Structure 1
């Protein structure tokens, strides 16, 4: 079970059997993981929670970046990476084998073995 206590020792996120990992909070959000039973297999899925443990971005993803940069977080869905916003909306489609975090409005992505640089709308930067 995981939970979160603040510096005063007060619980901000109560202990829960569903949360198996809670990463560092970045502002009011933290990447978190939970186990789900799917087709008789246990899978770890990632989403984002707030400081009270409420789900902000559903636990739909196979992996994810721990923080948002330029308002976007890289997340892995169906084996490929893309980017979502803080509301959980897909902004850049899940097309990539790997992605970096955004810095100065750009991210490096691996698209079918080729490393390219994209902007925060998914457009290739030459």
Structure 2
């Protein structure tokens, strides 16, 4: 199937970027993650980008991931559980490679049953923590 030139340029990151400020909006993205944690749900990268007004593209996903890293850095400093673990791939419900790199709490493969158990454990910690803090 042929892609339009606009789709190719958008997916490759070569198109005019437009207003991508929502991808850097730590407060807004954190609020979306807190809503998901309070519901006890993970969200896909595509769903998160959609909530920010974008369709999925790899460049936008990578920008979102940098913001997720900043959110988790602040969470760790505040003694809160990670939230980036709630953003997962649709295919296997696991975070992407960037989330796994540099981790010190897990040494296995980044895919498969063991990885999913680890992710679900961290997700449950976020769910439990934020569900106790409901207003």
User: RCO greater where, 1 or 2, for CA within 8 Å and sep 6 or more?
Assistant: 2
Q: Say yes or no: TM over 0.5.
A: no
- In proportion to residue count, which structure has more strand? 1
TM-score by length of 2: 0.25
As a proportion of its length, which structure holds more helix?
Answer: 2
